[in-house]
Every structure is written in structure tokens, then in C-alpha cells.
Amino acid sequence: MTDNSAAQQIASGYDTGGAAVELGAVVIDNEADAGAAVRIPLATLNRHGLVAGATGTGKTKTLQLLAEQLSEAGVPVVLADVKGDLSGLARPGEGGDKLSARAQDVGDDWQASSYPTQFLSLGTSGRGVPIRASITSFGPLLLSKVLGLNATQESTLGLIFHWADQRGLALLDTKDLRSVIQYLTSDEGKEDLKGIGGVSAASAGVILRALANLEAQGGDEFFGEPELDVADLLRQVEGKGVVNLLELDDVQANPVLFSTFLMWLLAELFEELPEAGDLDRPKLVFFFDEAHLLFNDASKAFLDRIEQTVKLIRSKGVGVFFCTQLPTDLPNPVLSQLGARVQHAIRAFTPEDQKALARAVKTYPTTEHYQLDQALTTLGIGEAIVTVLSETGAPTPVAWTRLRPPRSLMGSIGEDAVREAARSSDLHAKYAETIDRESAYEKLAQKVAEPASPPEGAAAPEGEVPEQREREEAGMFQKAMENPAVRSFFRSAASAVGREVTRGLFGNRRR
């Protein structure tokens, strides 16, 4: 069999009858066959995927390539920009000799192009349109992951959320949660917890300290309102899907918050989107970058919910690509759900690296054309070992693939350009200004200001929200609890029926 016939034999497994994402060309003996195309059928993208590889092997450009073609096909994309160099999607690429040679090598009729890009940032300190989630919506399970709580402390936090949900006390930001915790650990609050268990002072103290650390790391800028509406991620502009680019270039400041937010966003999509059945292309493709951060030190219950979400969200028309350095960064139950694999080079310098390499090889179908353990360590930049699901649902042959170059700008457009694009976005007016409406903290502050106590068991009248609200100071809540109006307010709230928040698979609020 000639090298060309081997490439054609592999490429025959990637033939499609419908629309597809074109990845590149099959490589045999370091030579790419421009006529041997490697592609992913759009109809199988809701079966999820993996993009993996060591730093500097071309993962980011692969993400850019995938996002471009999905956008061209009218499929919106959510993509985390961890390194800050994906903003070039908003501008046409710049040609050159190397780019032209690569395009010719893989049979790509390259043309510079730009794609509709929406720049987003977690909280208010970034360059993009600020996006937020309320504490209530985030839920106790995901918040426990962010706070680094153990199983006992997670259970305590769940009780706190349950109590607040039942009584219609909105937990919008960190000061709301702090207020409720301090009340429930007071003598008055313990009485209200008799029916659901107790909150120990030790566990409450740990949660309060973890909240303080989160606020010091900027978490208080993220939790609040207006909350992101996931429908704003499912947009098109002139037939192209919008690339929602989430700024995460300061991910090291709080990596767990960023990864857990992505999981919250995925859970929100699952809860909000209707069943879609089999589609010829997904409604949305979600790229979960730095995926290993989500799984580090995760409890079994947490991992089970991730697995269940990944399994079920495909029926909503959403595809998920996990992006990390090694396939072994993901637990096996999640890895087994990923139909498409794009594995860039693995660096195997240590015994642990060698073990990871051996495990990575076992995740691929057998092949007569490559020695996979050698191939995975000798791939060039912009090359990957690929296998996907065909339109019939069967794994395609393993293909050493030389990837197409992106058609948009490969690099950043600059911070000022990102800020300007965000300010001119139609989402800026919707999300730019923080809203601090009445919630648990404000209600308590109002009751403290009232001169008299309402009758036993009656709801206290609404007071005027102060124009300037101070941040909560140590000991303020204990002083507030001495006021009979506050105690009456909570007794009244405890008698309210039928207002408990309904929560979804991850404990996130279902609207």
C-alpha cells in the first residue's frame, strides 16, 4: 500500500453527506495529503469532544479554527479566552508565506475573514461586558466548590440555602449570604433551624472566612445582578453564529471560581433550553477551557453531577468540548462521553508523563498506520491525532492531521479595542451597571431602622432603602439581633409558605 493510498483509506472514514467542520489533511510519513480531508460532521458535535495537548503545541489555534467554522455554519459558540489571544476572531487574518504554504499543504482555499464576537468578562473589573450570577442562582453545591468546603461544611451551606429559599430571602451577593449565616448562628436563628437541622458555629465560621477570602480575590464583583440570561449566548449576526468570548486572562487569580462559573453556565443551559432531539447541527457549542481545574479535589457527588449534565445536555442541542493538557485530566466517566478527540503533542519527560502517555494511547482506536506512543510525542505544532464520530455514530480511523490555519487574526486585537467593542455592544446597556435591589441584607437593615416593633407574627411594613449602603462591619449583625423588629421580621418570614426556590441538577435555581 502506498503512502497516498493509506491516507485515502483513513480519509474515507471521514466522508460526510452533510455539513462538517474541516480540520485539515491526513499525514503519512510527515507528508500531508491535500486530498485526504479530516472533518467533524456538524450533526455529531452534540456528542461532545476533547482538545488536548501540551503548552505551545497549537491548542489555542485549534480552538480558533473550530470557533470560526461553527460561526460560519450559524452555530453560536461560548469560548473562554484564558491567554487573552483569541480576540483576533473579531478581525480578518493576515496572510503570509508560511500561512499560504500551510493552506496549500492541507488543501484549504484560505481567505481572510472575521466573525461576530461578543466580549464578556466575569464581574465588573474586566474589559468585556460584565456578566454575573446571584448567590441564589449559583446554589450551594457549586458555591461550596468555589469556597473549598468539605462535605460537612457543604451540607451546612445547603441547609442555609434551603432555609433562605423557603422564606423568600433573596441571596444576591456575598453580603446577603453573610447576613443570613450570622443570623442563623445567633440564639434567635437556631430556633428557626429546628425543623431542618443545625448550623454549628465552627462550620459557619469556616464558611464566613471562605467568603472573606473570595471577596478579597474579587469574587464579590461577580456575584450579584443583573444576572446573565443564557438566551443572550444563542445569537446570530447576518447568519453567522456569535462567538461569545469570555475573558479569563487573569484565571490564576481565582482558577476555581472561573472553572466553576463555566460549570454553572453549562448547568443553566441545561435547565433553560428545551429538548431538541436530533439536529443537523447543534444550537450551541461550549468550550470548557482549563477543564482540569473543575475536577481537582472534586467530591464524588460533584463528579457524578458533571457526568450526568454532560450526558443529558446533548439532548438540548448543546455540544461541549473540554480543553486541557492531557486526557487523563478528566475522569473516565466524562472522558467516555467525548466523541471527538483532537490530541496535540504530549511532552513525556518524567515517569508520570510516561504513564499519562500510555493511558492517552489507550483512549484511541487501534491503528495499523501509526505507532501512537511515538506519534503523540513527535507531532509538530499545528498537528494532532484525531478521531471523531462519523455520521453513523461509529469512531473514525485514527488520523495524524495537519490542521488548517485560522482565517481570522491569530493574536490579540489589543485591550483598548476589546473595551471599545464591549462598550458598543447591544448587551452593554443590559449588563454594564450593577443593580443592588432589596434582598436579605437590605431587609434586615430596614428593620433595624424602624422605631417600633410590629405585632407578633405580622410582617413589618416596608421601609425606604437607604441611598448609601455601607458594607457590613464585624459585629453589626449581633447588634441587629438585639432589635425586636428584626426578630419579628424573621418569625413572620418563617410563616411564609410556598415560596421555596426550585433547584436543578447542580443546585442552581430553576426559574
User: What's the pLDDT tens digit per position in 285-307?
Assistant: 999 888 888 888 888 888 888 99
* Residue from 40, 510, 508 nearest 262 by CA: 508
377 φ/ψ angles, rounded to the nearest 5 degrees: -100, -5
CA angle 213, 471, 164 (to 5 degrees): 75
Percent of the chain with pLDDT over 90: 54
Q: Give the three-class secondary structure for 31.
A: strand
Spelled out in words, what is the top-level CATH class assigned to the domain 9-132+225-431?
alpha beta
SS (H, E, C) 236-289: EECCEECEEEEECCCHHHCHHHHHHHHHHHHHHHHHHCCCCCCCCCCCEEEEEC
Please report, for the chain, the start and end positions of each structural domain, with discontinuous segments joined by +.
9-132+225-431, 135-223+438-494
Integer angstrom CA distances of residue 75 from 126, 236, 286, 477: 26, 8, 11, 50
What's the mean pLDDT when you consider all of the chain?
A: 84
The helix (run of H) or strand (run of E) holding residue 324 is strand 318-324
Answer yes or no: is pLDDT of 258 > 70: yes
pTM of the model: 0.84
- Concatenate the DSSP letters of all residues of 120-163 into one string: EEESSSSSSEEE-B-HHHHHHHHHHHHHT--HHHHHHHHHHHHH
Answer yes or no: is pLDDT of 9 > 80: yes
Q: For residue 351, what are the contacts with CB-CB under 8 A and spacing of at least 6?
A: none
- Residue 470: what pLDDT? 37
Type of residue numbered 284: L
- Residue 208: what pLDDT? 92
Q: Which of 84-98, 368-382, 404-418, 489-503 has the lowest mean pLDDT?
A: 489-503
Type of residue numbered 399: A
Angle between helix 135-147 and helix 151-166 axes, rounded to 10 deg: 170
The helix (run of H) or strand (run of E) holding residue 442 is helix 440-449
pLDDT category of residue 253 using cuts at 50, 70 and 90: low
pLDDT category of residue 22 using cuts at 50, 70 and 90: very high
Average pLDDT estimate for 10-36: 95
288 has which bridge partners?
322
Percent of the chain with pLDDT over 70: 84
| CA gap 293, 295 in Å, rounded | 6
Report how far apart the first and last C-alpha atoms of the chain are (Å, whole number). Answer: 60
Place of cell 480558533: 64
Q: Which of 90-104, 212-226, 266-280, 438-452 has the lowest mean pLDDT?
A: 438-452
pLDDT category of residue 222 using cuts at 50, 70 and 90: confident
| CA gap 98, 277 in Å, rounded | 43
Among the ranges 54-68, 257-271, 461-475, which has the highest mean pLDDT value? 54-68
What does the radius of gyration of the chain's CA atoms come to, in whole angstroms? Answer: 26
- Residue 440: what pLDDT? 67
